[in-house]
A and B are shown apart, each in its own frame.
Chain A
């Protein structure tokens, strides 16, 4: 499809702005002489983006089982809620009681759901929450006058975990997974010392397994005075069933754009609130919103790590999450966990008849299969591309790294049994194609708006704007 600048013609823009008869105060030598933004009539702008949207796939288009991303249905009512004009307020306005009430109530709900003592809603995404959490750990040990340097991370972790750790000048130390998919307790014990800041753990982990030794793991960390951070990306199957605060977690983040259904927007905006136990509350980002004598106000703490966002986080996303929690209520939250886990296990049982299941056990919200049984050199990437032809978004591929040729599948609770069956049928058909007509897979997608893209070329000669 043509680019905006290729469709542009001087004088075409219809979006007129009337000026006043007032001289500017800006000297000529500070002003720009040309502005080459594209010029299209409004109808062509709308058609351009409408046509672009037609070559995009969202949850609104079909099953999107992208593992660890929780691509559930994003209720439309939450968009209406987020567009209530009275909430579109300047962040420094003092007439903000309604807005503060939403943030405060949401903090309370998140505490109740996770068993944490206090939440800050400032972090703008999961990785931002991780960074905030590690900053809190750093500030905690600084306050205690302890110099610790190492953060334990299981090898099944999200890539953001070690990246967040190294931003805080700590050293990530990886622990192995056991043959059953959990943390290898022996390896963990060997790596423990008084130099360990704590652990960053994802539970259920990225194999979709709830670590049955989670209490031993957190106890081991606590025995050495360390802190336990939970990457809450996989909170969905725990809603109303189990609280991280009960299994020894000291700090965690939630991804509101995953568990709490705010749309992912093609890469954000998200929101990554951080929750902590009581001892760590003073270290949360400044300012916090708290209740003093039945009045909501901003509160500053001396021990705080400081501010991590220009203002107070992604309020537009917080409002959607609040709206979601209120609309489904307590019973709805538990329902999510149960059905997410049911759907994943159902799919696992059906898929294992055709694909290799590296960890054949009960899973939580997601499952991993791999390409080890595929004939004719067909790879996970080929399967992913061919799934597009069947009308599905592919799963997360080649992740977690500990499974060669991994496909991480998270169906979520909002899919019908018929959708799950259709996906399994497609996977079965793809397996048969791999045996009989492998070129259909290696050349896939065949029906998408564009053929398989040359990723290597994109990186070898980077062209990142229409100027170069």
Chain B
């Protein structure tokens, strides 16, 4: 394929207009020794049908067995409306809406997205999106240390281990000290707040369990409480974070209308109390009026951002995950209040699975506590080996040495009761 439309004749006349002999005259600022003399070692061009044939050949090297993997990336159904909307070129091929008069579609959609995220979380302010769940949490950590002026944070070990790795990376660069908070029986244990700016927990936590945010809030009276979520569908069923006086909510929003895609693009969600409005990172869409007094939307409070404030900006983020936020907005608008029922179904399937599993000798539910759609089992090796064609869950022993032989199992609406029964059959056969 070739997407450059200039014909030989076009090129000739354009070069004439410029007043040069050949194309290479336009590269004369590049020192001669740097100009490539030979072609790049990249395969020759392909037609559309050859390309698809090639890609399909590679794609079938992937296998997709029955899977119960979750832990930060979820196999949810994507309503047909989502792709119909996000594939519209007016949305997908536009840039960040710097020129609001011809970007009202993107801007109103972001404004509505921000509103729905605030409805779900109970928070006052949501931005237009961040890269993913882990980096939005890292930005929250930096935000908290700026607000409190203390370069130390507490991090629950019941936080997704990959997120903990990302926090470590950002903390090292930003010179923030991380204090690890232990887990007791699957939940975040006691902690001392002195010297810290915030405590970071995950809810539902990495093991799928619902944390006791009320208790944590009480213990964290003098520091900020940051809550991360990897499965925001749980929000449709659980009390909003505002009821626990959480300061900053971050999440991975992939569950809302975005495919798994090997973990990216995701959708970084960040929402805060009103008090932190002027310190929040990233884009914000706000309501205003045009010269005729009509309602319209524009990016606002840009003096927080890198293109204005440069080294004093609240973050360096520029491009975020706009189209993923749009997908989430269409997803939420499509489900409406039925999102609550979808959340219930996810929970019911997980409960059904644990009931069935707990009847099998050699399989234990490790934590006997309320969970949303993920739970941890310990399974005897001989039983596990019967499930060679099934991805039963994420092996936890690499991340938690004391959870040897344990797996994090996830159910979504894509899991049918028959799928669960098949697992039970294969184990008990």
Contact = CB atoms under 8 A, between A and B. Distances in A.
B401 interface: no
A268 B128 CA distance: 11
Contact of A266 (B36, B52, B323): B323
A55 B52 contact: no
Most A CB within 10 A of own CB, among B91, B330, B336: B336
Contacts of A131: 173, 316
B394 interface: yes
B147 interface: no
Nearest to B175: A169
A315 B60 contact: no
Q: Is the interface of A mostly helix, strand, loop or mixed?
A: loop
Interface in B281-297: 283-292, 294, 296-297
Interface string A239-263: 0111100110000000101000101
A125 to B, nearest CB: 4
A318 to B, nearest CB: 8
A285 B64 CA distance: 28
Contact of B63 (A95, A331, A385, A462): A95
Most A CB within 10 A of own CB, among B97, B310, B341: B310
B194 interface: no
B391 interface: yes
Interface stretch (A31-39, A191-199, A221-229): A31-39
B62 interface: yes
Interface in B347-374: 347-349, 351-352, 370-372
Most B CB within 10 A of own CB, among A56, A109, A346: A56
A438 to B, nearest CB: 16
Given A37-B332, A247-B34, A465-B111, A310 B163 contact: yes
Contact of A64 (B95, B128, B131): B95
B238 A128 contact: no
A317 interface: yes
Contacts of A172: 310-311
Contacts of A38: 116, 333, 336
B349 to A, nearest CB: 7
Interface in A317-370: 317, 323, 325-336, 338-339, 341-343, 345-346, 349-350, 361-362, 364
A10 B336 CA distance: 10
Contact of A452 (B17, B27, B290): B290
Given A163-B310, A462-B286, A35 B26 contact: no
Contact of A73 (B3, B259, B283): B3
Contacts of A267: 95-97, 106, 128-129, 283, 319-323
B90 A89 contact: no
A311 B290 contact: no
Nearest to A419: B5
Nearest to A416: B5
A416 to B, nearest CB: 5
Interface string B108-134: 110110111011100011101101111
Contacts of B10: 416-417
Contact of A268 (B1, B34, B129): B129
Contacts of B297: 453
B298 A458 contact: yes
B131 A125 contact: yes
A127 B306 contact: yes
Contacts of B115: 3, 5, 465-467
A37 B117 CA distance: 10
A166 B142 CA distance: 12
A263 B317 CA distance: 18
20 contacts: A32-B238, A55-B102, A56-B105, A58-B93, A58-B94, A60-B92, A74-B92, A75-B1, A90-B67, A96-B262, A134-B173, A212-B30, A266-B109, A267-B320, A305-B172, A315-B263, A315-B264, A445-B102, A454-B289, A462-B286
The 9 closest A-B pairs by CB, nearest first: A311-B263, A60-B89, A265-B323, A267-B322, A56-B105, A91-B263, A329-B45, A13-B336, A306-B169
